[in-house]
Amino acid sequence: MRLGPRLAAETVGTFWLVLAGCGTAVLAGEQVGYLGVALAFGLAVLTMAYAVGHVSGGHFNPAVTLGSPESYTLVAAALTEIVLTAVFVFVILGVTDRRAPVGFTPLAIGLTLTAVHLVSIPVTNTSVNPARSLGVAWFDTAALGQSWLFVVAPLVGAAVAGLAYAVITGVDRRDVDIDGGAAV
With H, G, I as helix, E, B as strand and everything else as coil, classify residue 130: helix
Map residue 67 onto helix, strand or coil.
Answer: coil
Nearest-angstrom CA–CA distance, 41 and 22: 8
pLDDT reported for residue 179: 55
Quick check: is 62 in a domain?
yes
Amino acid at 161: A
Q: Has residue 181 been placed in a domain?
A: no
Range of the domain at 77: 3-175
pLDDT at 133: 79
Q: pLDDT tens string for the chain (184 positions)? A: 677 888 888 888 888 988 898 889 889 989 999 999 999 999 998 898 888 888 877 767 543 222 333 767 888 889 999 999 999 999 999 999 888 888 999 999 999 999 999 888 888 888 888 887 777 677 666 667 778 888 899 999 999 999 999 988 887 666 554 554 444 3
| pLDDT recorded at residue 64 | 28
Residue 133 falls within a domain, yes or no? Answer: yes
Residue 180 lies in a domain: no
Q: How many angstroms separate the CA atoms of 32 and 124, rounded?
A: 19
- In CATH, what number is assigned to the domain containing residue 16? 1.20.1080.10
Question: Cα–Cα distance between 19 and 122 in angstroms, integer?
Answer: 21
Cβ atoms of residues 39 and 111 within 8 Å: no
pLDDT in the model for residue 174: 60
3-state SS assignment for residue 137: helix
* Domain annotation covers residue 182: no
Per the structure, how many domains does the chain have? 1
